[in-house]
Structure 1
């Protein structure tokens, strides 16, 4: 089963979802803004992505710039920020088994399919 952490308002996320749909594999869509991940879910996702928390942050978001940019944050603080403000999580993320990939560019998802 493939899981797609998706934001329907994001063009890259929609393009990635299209590639997953075309694969013919079974998948589930999680709109992470409506169903945000808690800290343990974010940690599990980061483990599958093989990324540090800072690498999953949308640093261009106005909220990040206003509240967090330029601060020396611990991984725990970054995770707490993403849990409190799911919009800060980079998207889309596609999970298959114990692997995950950030769909930027969308074609990267083909590595999992």
Structure 2
């Protein structure tokens, strides 16, 4: 999707129209990022 060069509003609209996109949310904290599935994975960034 990066190649589409979507702005923030277009990304939000895509998530509203396609909730499946949020089934594997990416969480970024500083220089680290994870796929937060299961949700407990978020704890590894804290």
- The higher relative CO (CA closer than 8 Å, separation ≥ 6) is in 1
TM-score, normalised by the number of residues in structure 1: 0.23
Higher helix share: 2
User: Which structure has the larger Rg over C-alpha atoms?
Assistant: 1
TM-score, normalised by the number of residues in structure 2: 0.47
